[in-house]
A and B are shown apart, each in its own frame.
Chain A
């Protein structure tokens, strides 16, 4: 019985293919049950998110299972078989377990360290538990994957530090101002990134928001969205005296805020720190302003630099994470191998017992004149003989070795355990 993974992610397939193969809503339940019905599949879980679709199973024969799963997917989703052959990856045994641990720890995600994947994995597991499509191996595997993910998150710094521009802006704001809830923010202009940054700041405590835009109506709209107040564009410099954080993203072709404007402003603000974020291209805030005391000006490249530095940090932490995963992988595999031999040992004993019983019955049938006392002696001998014969293979099975699977298979073959 081997752990088995079939699937695709954002690295091997683009959105169109992933869409076709995704299992959302009721499709998930139906798909899961159909997946479990495949004869080679003993345990099943389906994980389907916007960035990946993966099928986890415990299978008896990897090759047959691979074929069967591909057929199932092609029929279920109405996709041509050859399209699947190129798009899917297949992992089995050690590689499958390692892959699942990596996915859970967010090492296979688009952004390493993202927190959603673990929750998505837990949900997929719960659904499988509810529908009773898992067994001892996948149950243990999922629980282990979840604990490995937690270990990675606590023992490495993989999930710290912002890796998107708007998060980076908030992270920087926190390094300048302790308490964002007492800060006021001004949004100059509009635009997806600027609005996202403003929203993040609000989510992190900023309560007062001013919005200035060349079109006053637009300013009012955005101000409404953010629960702030609109400001007339030609008055924005005056109002800036109240703003601790300014996000600038207008389409102006030149600087709208110059050094001497800022100097006057800082005097009025009594030198209270100001964080200026200039996302516009071309830049709207004179870069020389960064030279002023207590003013911190970041443009889009600077923010990207913060993000890149953090991504680099995360890569380093990812290496640590791989080490942790390697350790846990060993532990899991040891557990798994101990499991394999036990049913075989039991089966071996049962086979031996049944042979003993069979022969004893035959003997007594043949020679009914054998007395009770002799019968007991014969039975004693038969048991002793049986135990001596199955002892060495039992011991061999119990000791873990490299080639556990082959040994198990061999014992089963030699003693005819599977021929029942």
Chain B
């Protein structure tokens, strides 16, 4: 049953991705509505599948790679819909849905069995710390997407190359605002993730900070986004520079995530 729900959500995300690509070239009001509906229904079913897994496993479903990627893509869509409340920009989904779909696809290929939790993970901190971390990273992922859209649109305006896509992308100011909002959402979440991580480390390993690879990279990421926010507020680093920084920031997150997986060093290796 859980698998069925998961596969169904995956299919809906795939459909939304395809429509999203069509939207880039031939968007109309109808295609926008279709994408949002497909994504919304997929999201609902995805949520149910996560809850279902929670119930069958007895613990929060973010303890192995399959669950983690699934939950991460869920977080991305979740924040996307929150953004839609304020900024109704359907074309953002054309950029987001492929990412979500590939994450879900990767998730399908990872082992799914529900294993009992190792003693370290049997803590109420598990849910709190990981959810903060994932939501924060999802916000940064979306910010990166918006940064890319900004650079694309900016290229059109600067090079005076007016194509059809130019007409459909929102204004530079809107893209810049959305990018900033997402970073403002992600940064406190990341901060909380680091703090709760430290508290959890204390209760599990006896010390707040262990200079573990993941902890260090989280700190580096935190510093980068702190610089982004500072630069925006004080030095007026908006527009193009902010877009580039938000892409760099997310690349850092990706390097951290995959780099640590590949090296498999340190305490933080659960996935």
Given contacts A273-B172, A306-B162, A309-B162, contact A176 B157 (CB under 8 A): yes
Given contacts A161-B167, A174-B171, A178-B170, contact A271 B157 (CB under 8 A): no
Is A298 among interface residues, defined by CB-CB distance under 8 A? Answer: yes
**How many residues does chain A have at the interface if contact means C-beta atoms less than 8 Å apart?**
26
Is A37 among interface residues, defined by CB-CB distance under 8 A? Answer: no
A273 near B173 with CB under 8 A, answer yes
A175 near B153 with CB under 8 A, answer yes
A175 near B239 with CB under 8 A, answer no
Cα-based distance from A174 to B172 in the complex (angstroms): 9
Cα-based distance from A309 to B156 in the complex (angstroms): 13
B238 near A296 with CB under 8 A, answer no
A271 near B174 with CB under 8 A, answer no
B236 near A270 with CB under 8 A, answer yes
| Interfacial residues, chain A to chain B (CB-CB below 8 A) | 160-161, 172, 174-179, 267, 269-273, 290, 293-294, 296, 298, 302, 305-306, 309-310, 313
Is B59 among interface residues, defined by CB-CB distance under 8 A? Answer: no
Return chain B residues, CB-CB under 8 Å to A176: 157, 171-173
A272 near B238 with CB under 8 A, answer yes
Given contacts A177-B171, A178-B174, A273-B172, contact A172 B240 (CB under 8 A): no
Is B166 among interface residues, defined by CB-CB distance under 8 A? Answer: yes
Cα-based distance from A269 to B251 in the complex (angstroms): 30
Return chain B residues, CB-CB under 8 Å to A160: 167
Interface contacts beyond A271-B236, A271-B239, A313-B164: sample of 16 additional A-B pairs, CB < 8 Å, sorted by A: A172-B157, A175-B153, A175-B157, A175-B166, A175-B172, A176-B171, A177-B173, A178-B170, A178-B171, A178-B173, A273-B172, A293-B240, A293-B241, A296-B157, A305-B160, A310-B162
Q: Which of B160, B164, B177 contacts A298 (CB 8 A)?
A: B160
Cα-based distance from A270 to B173 in the complex (angstroms): 14
Q: Which of B157, B177, B239 contacts A293 (CB 8 A)?
A: B239
Cα-based distance from A202 to B214 in the complex (angstroms): 54
B238 near A271 with CB under 8 A, answer yes
B158 near A290 with CB under 8 A, answer yes
B236 near A272 with CB under 8 A, answer yes
Considering only residues 226-256 of chain B, those with a C-beta below 8 Å from chain A are: 235-241
Q: Smallest CB–CB gap between A289 and chain B, Å?
A: 11
Residue in A267, A294, A313 with the greatest tally of chain B CB atoms within 10 Å: A294
Q: Smallest CB–CB gap between B182 and chain A, Å?
A: 17
Q: Which of B160, B239, B241 contacts A273 (CB 8 A)?
A: B239
Considering only residues 32-53 of chain B, those with a C-beta below 8 Å from chain A are: none
